[in-house]
A and B are shown apart, each in its own frame.
Chain A
């Protein structure tokens, strides 16, 4: 977009450019997001526009842009407020200063200040094999390592792994909810039912066998899976759905309580 000159106000001592585009070489955490690469431009192209300072937008992390002579010619301020869990950590606003010295060549500096008093942090924990007490400790440690501040910040907690069925994972998680401004939990854990022994003569044993076999066949090829349940069309079931069904059934049978995944 910047391969042609943008009209400057000739005679004006300072010219500022506000531009929305993707700077080639930008390496912030949002650089890999799909569709992010749009309206691309290079440092050389920006430099050739000869603006005093370019305030850049589109990329959401703070990044300064320097000319080939090492002069600050622009910066991404990033997003003022973290809008998603991809925008974690402190969010900044830039306060700039332009000094025109005797050489009459403006010199720019920018200083970032934290704008939002609330930060987003992402923490992940594998709870496999952990008892309740240890699970709580691990989660606490993972959040601390990220630097989340109690009472102030938003935490996105990602849990995975298999936990002992008797463990009350929900109460462990609930203990953290009150510690931060908001805690969002992506729970990808499963109770570790399958490590226990089941009697194949019982409904439970038959159910596990049937569902595991069905999952295997579904993953191999949906059309080959056949019908475990005539109300369900075979091509609508994925391996993940079959696995969900297995665990929902075991939850209902063992705990008389089903926690549906991926809901509010």
Chain B
């Protein structure tokens, strides 16, 4: 699927604009800040999926703060709040028109046929499923994989293992992506340990246990009440029987003559009532006395134990229940224990030496084997290259043996010394040249001096001649002057000429006398130069001498017989080196690879040692077998762990239970001892405790009965007890009898109370008391039982359902992560190989953590180390890469557009270029990529770095005015 165009009639700050995109290209929309790039990026996913409805607790939530309301057109309330998006799916072109205000969406097919296909993109109940049906993903999944919002890579810059794993676990677990199954499992565990019950939050097992104990007690109480109820019915029946038999009541027999007046009749009536009251009061009194005697017989009653009753019973019940459970488990676990032991023994036997390996080890070993295999292959290739190169060199008459022997001979030579040798040799040569120059100069100067000397001699001869001639002339002119002294003009002339020639003679003869003054300066200069050259030559000789000493010393150090030989060897080697450069390069690479192989073999050695395999067996084949075995062992170990989890849990439970039982028995012993209960066994102590408690309650019940009887008897009248009340009634009775006897002819006779009457009264009292007690207790107990049963049923059901949810989530999340990790790894391998970044491999572990290997580095880095070993830019990149891997996995059937809002802000230029080249060369072949950015210069620079073919896959987009939305 790819997006052809998007038009925003009104969305946030953008009104009436559109952008056109190209498929299978990197589409760049580069604009300055505050131009609405992020708004347009939001419009892409909003057009596909709409905004979520309902309450969003956190405005910064999953959608980066964008909600329906926040994206309403800012320019005015009358503007439409609509976006249209044109998308291509294979041969189909669709137009999606979404009205965010009215919350409606229409989908039109433009190609191959013009028609409304909205119904195709709605759910069975008319739900908007446009985004889901186009992309195959929910909104949240799309937002967390194909869409990278601004600063999302920064915000989720990965720190510890938990962060990284939780990001991808969140994607794998839930469409909301913010939460993981791990968090959900913890939440469910918390619900099991903080179950709300009667104002508290308790462990659900504890609640169930308490309710079961309470239910049992109530049922026992109800059973006791049922017995009382039965007794009551029997009592009523007996009373009824006694009534039918005509049992008599009332002690006074009264015969009333017909003429008796009304006042006497009233007295008679009063007497009858009084007799009845008295009889009743006497029955009550007799019963009370009987009850008092019962209390006296309960000598073991101990009220102080009442406070401990619940606690002791609870502990005893818990002990009993644990004991029963423990016995049940113990009867069974032999099977479980044996099974676990058998499985583990079989495992240990089968994978002797490998049982300690973890899945991390397996992963690392597998990578190591791969690396060794690659190194082996590389070394073979390099060896072939070396052979070819050697053959080539040999065929072009390069004496490899000599070169090798020279190289060997010079192997002990320190590179610094080698450099020194060259330098010294060069210096010596230079010095020699200089000496030659100096000697040449000396010769030249000497020749020049001789030349000047020769010239000087010539000049001297000349000067002598001239001087002599001038002298002669002087003489002659002087003679002439003398001779012609009378001729003044002649005297003057001859005199002048005599002077002149005398002067000339003096000049030239003087010059003749001092021949060294001829070109004195030149001579001096030449002599100075000669001196200089000579001195320089001497210095150079001594310098050469000292250099030779140094060379000798180096030669000795290198084990070469002489400096000259050393120098010639070095020169030979230097001369050969250009020809042998390739061979040396190959040799160096071979050395590097061998070094890496050594390191890998060392690492492998650790695994072999761990597996108790002798170091002598270390080889690639053996390592491959070991890796396969370790993987199988780890897998089998994990299966056994899963299969025997229950048995192991059971065994652990048995141990825990035993401890708990002992703890409870200790506590109980302490309680009994502190309260003076000392018997032979703990059971006997408990029996004694129960007896004392029962005695206390019996006494209390009897006291209550006495109180009720007293209250019933006295009827609110102010008498201290029934005895005084009986006495009062008897007195009144006697008074009445006296009055009746004296003022009338009524006959009064007192009858003795028969046994039947006494028994009936007694029974009557019992029935009344029992009925009242039942009235007070029976229904409340029934209510309580019902409530407790309901609470217990709810608690059990809650426990079952929470555990079911938790265990199912645990199982399924593990399967999901493992399944995803396999698929993600194959995509990651393909992508990293093409990326040409510093990463050699990027692997997802079975719990979606990430393992990274840098090129040229043996270490495998897991994400807990990312923060300390990587820069922010690298981590950002890594996060993006992992997200692209996930989006490729999820969009396998339908390659989806990838939209990025201002990514890679933390990457340096080189890295940025690599990534963008990858995007252009690889990603755009399957996906449309859309990037929104404000960095114009950076992207212009990018364009300049790309090749012509790459530039073809890059497109700079721009916003243009759209035709108003209809």
Instruction: Please determine whether chains A and B interact with each other in the same assembly.
Output: yes
Contact at B52–A166, with CB atoms within 8 Å? Answer: yes
A263 to B195, CA, bound (A): 8
Contact at B798–A204, with CB atoms within 8 Å? Answer: no
Q: Please report which residues of chain B, range 784-815, place their CB below 8 angstroms from some CB of chain A when the two chains form the complex.
A: 794-795, 797-798, 800-809, 811-813, 815
Question: Contacts of A254 on B, CB cut-off 8 Å?
Answer: 174, 176, 179
B628 to chain A, nearest CB (A): 29
A195 to B175, CA, bound (A): 13
State whether the Cβ of B700 lies closer than 8 Å to any Cβ in chain A: no
A202 to B184, CA, bound (A): 14
A207 to chain B, nearest CB (A): 5
State whether the Cβ of B92 lies closer than 8 Å to any Cβ in chain A: no
Question: Contacts of B17 on A, CB cut-off 8 Å?
Answer: none
State whether the Cβ of B198 lies closer than 8 Å to any Cβ in chain A: yes
Question: Contacts of B804 on A, CB cut-off 8 Å?
Answer: 228-229, 232, 237, 241-242, 245
Q: Please report which residues of chain A, range 209-264, place their CB below 8 angstroms from some CB of chain B when the two chains form the complex.
A: 210-211, 228-232, 236-238, 240-242, 244-246, 248-249, 251-258, 260-264
A50 to chain B, nearest CB (A): 22
Question: Contacts of A236 on B, CB cut-off 8 Å?
Answer: 800
A210 to B804, CA, bound (A): 11
A243 to chain B, nearest CB (A): 8
Measured CB to CB, the nearest residue on chain B to A257 is B187
State whether the Cβ of A175 lies closer than 8 Å to any Cβ in chain B: no
Query: What is the number of residues of chain A that contact chain B, defined by CB distance less than 8 Å?
Result: 50
Contact at B138–A195, with CB atoms within 8 Å? Answer: no
Question: Contacts of A199 on B, CB cut-off 8 Å?
Answer: 136-138, 141, 175, 890
Contact at A197–B138, with CB atoms within 8 Å? Answer: yes
A123 to chain B, nearest CB (A): 22
State whether the Cβ of B275 lies closer than 8 Å to any Cβ in chain A: no
Measured CB to CB, the nearest residue on chain A to B810 is A229
Partner of B187, one of A167, A198, A238, A256: A256
Contact at B173–A263, with CB atoms within 8 Å? Answer: no
Measured CB to CB, the nearest residue on chain A to B52 is A166
Partner of B809, one of A164, A196, A252: A252
Contact mask for chain B residues 584-602; partner A; CB cutoff 8 A; 1 contact, 0 none: 0000000000000000000
State whether the Cβ of B183 lies closer than 8 Å to any Cβ in chain A: yes
How many CB-defined contacts (below 8 Å) exist between A and B? 164
A263 to B800, CA, bound (A): 15
State whether the Cβ of B901 lies closer than 8 Å to any Cβ in chain A: no
B14 to chain A, nearest CB (A): 27
Partner of A246, one of B55, B123, B805, B812: B805
Measured CB to CB, the nearest residue on chain B to A243 is B801
The verdict on A231 contacting B802 (CB below 8 Å), with A203-B816, A263-B195 known, is: no
Question: Contacts of B55 on A, CB cut-off 8 Å?
Answer: 132, 166-168
State whether the Cβ of A179 lies closer than 8 Å to any Cβ in chain B: no
Question: Contacts of A206 on B, CB cut-off 8 Å?
Answer: 812, 815-816
Contact at B794–A245, with CB atoms within 8 Å? Answer: no
Contact at B797–A229, with CB atoms within 8 Å? Answer: no
Contact at B803–A164, with CB atoms within 8 Å? Answer: no
Measured CB to CB, the nearest residue on chain A to B797 is A241
B180 to chain A, nearest CB (A): 8
Contact mask for chain A residues 28-50; partner B; CB cutoff 8 A; 1 contact, 0 none: 00000000000000000000000
A261 to B890, CA, bound (A): 36
State whether the Cβ of A201 lies closer than 8 Å to any Cβ in chain B: yes
Contact at A202–B173, with CB atoms within 8 Å? Answer: yes
Contact at B125–A131, with CB atoms within 8 Å? Answer: no
Partner of B184, one of A201, A205, A256, A264: A256
Partner of B798, one of A251, A257, A260: A260
Contact at A260–B802, with CB atoms within 8 Å? Answer: yes
Contact at A196–B798, with CB atoms within 8 Å? Answer: no
State whether the Cβ of A165 lies closer than 8 Å to any Cβ in chain B: yes
Contact mask for chain B residues 808-833; partner A; CB cutoff 8 A; 1 contact, 0 none: 11011101100010000000000000
Contact mask for chain A residues 155-191; partner B; CB cutoff 8 A; 1 contact, 0 none: 0000000001111100000000000000000000000
State whether the Cβ of B191 lies closer than 8 Å to any Cβ in chain A: yes
Query: What is the number of residues of chain B that contact chain A, defined by CB distance less than 8 Å?
Result: 57
A36 to chain B, nearest CB (A): 13
Contact at B173–A261, with CB atoms within 8 Å? Answer: no
Contact at B175–A204, with CB atoms within 8 Å? Answer: yes
Q: Please report which residues of chain B, range 138-181, place their CB below 8 angstroms from some CB of chain A when the two chains form the complex.
A: 138, 141, 171-176, 179, 181
A38 to B48, CA, bound (A): 67
Contact at B138–A228, with CB atoms within 8 Å? Answer: no
State whether the Cβ of B256 lies closer than 8 Å to any Cβ in chain A: no
Contact at A166–B187, with CB atoms within 8 Å? Answer: no
Contact at B812–A253, with CB atoms within 8 Å? Answer: no
Contact at A167–B54, with CB atoms within 8 Å? Answer: yes
A168 to B187, CA, bound (A): 19
Question: Contacts of A253 on B, CB cut-off 8 Å?
Answer: 173-174, 176, 179, 181, 184, 809
Question: Contacts of B795 on A, CB cut-off 8 Å?
Answer: 263
B674 to chain A, nearest CB (A): 35
A196 to B171, CA, bound (A): 17
Between A201, A237, A251, the greatest number of chain B beta carbons within 10 A of the residue's beta carbon is seen for: A201
Question: Contacts of B172 on A, CB cut-off 8 Å?
Answer: 201-203
Question: Contacts of B815 on A, CB cut-off 8 Å?
Answer: 206
Measured CB to CB, the nearest residue on chain B to A133 is B55
Question: Contacts of B801 on A, CB cut-off 8 Å?
Answer: 241-242, 244-245, 248
Contact at B183–A248, with CB atoms within 8 Å? Answer: no
A255 to chain B, nearest CB (A): 8
Contact at B188–A207, with CB atoms within 8 Å? Answer: no
The verdict on A258 contacting B188 (CB below 8 Å), with A165-B54, A166-B54, A237-B804 known, is: yes
B266 to chain A, nearest CB (A): 13
State whether the Cβ of B129 lies closer than 8 Å to any Cβ in chain A: yes
Contact mask for chain B residues 32-68; partner A; CB cutoff 8 A; 1 contact, 0 none: 0000000000000000000011111100000000000
Between A166, A202, A248, the greatest number of chain B beta carbons within 10 A of the residue's beta carbon is seen for: A202
Partner of B181, one of A201, A203, A241, A262: A203
A166 to B139, CA, bound (A): 15
The verdict on A197 contacting B132 (CB below 8 Å), with A204-B173, A231-B646, A256-B179 known, is: yes
Contact at A228–B794, with CB atoms within 8 Å? Answer: no
Contact at B129–A232, with CB atoms within 8 Å? Answer: no
B761 to chain A, nearest CB (A): 19
A7 to B270, CA, bound (A): 20
Question: Contacts of B811 on A, CB cut-off 8 Å?
Answer: 229
Contact at B197–A207, with CB atoms within 8 Å? Answer: no
Q: Please report which residues of chain B, range 876-909, place their CB below 8 angstroms from some CB of chain A when the two chains form the complex.
A: 890
Contact mask for chain A residues 94-135; partner B; CB cutoff 8 A; 1 contact, 0 none: 000000000000000000000000000000000000011000
State whether the Cβ of B199 lies closer than 8 Å to any Cβ in chain A: yes
10 A-B pairs with the lowest CB-CB distances in the bound complex, closest first: A166-B54, A252-B184, A244-B801, A249-B805, A245-B804, A245-B801, A252-B187, A245-B805, A203-B173, A229-B807
15 contacts between A and B (CB under 8 A): A132-B55, A203-B173, A211-B808, A232-B804, A232-B807, A237-B800, A240-B797, A241-B801, A246-B805, A248-B805, A252-B184, A258-B191, A260-B196, A263-B795, A264-B198
Contacts A206-B815, A230-B646, A245-B805 known; 18 new A-B pairs at CB < 8 A: A167-B54, A197-B132, A201-B820, A204-B174, A205-B175, A231-B646, A232-B800, A238-B797, A242-B801, A244-B801, A245-B801, A245-B808, A249-B188, A256-B179, A260-B191, A260-B798, A262-B798, A263-B794
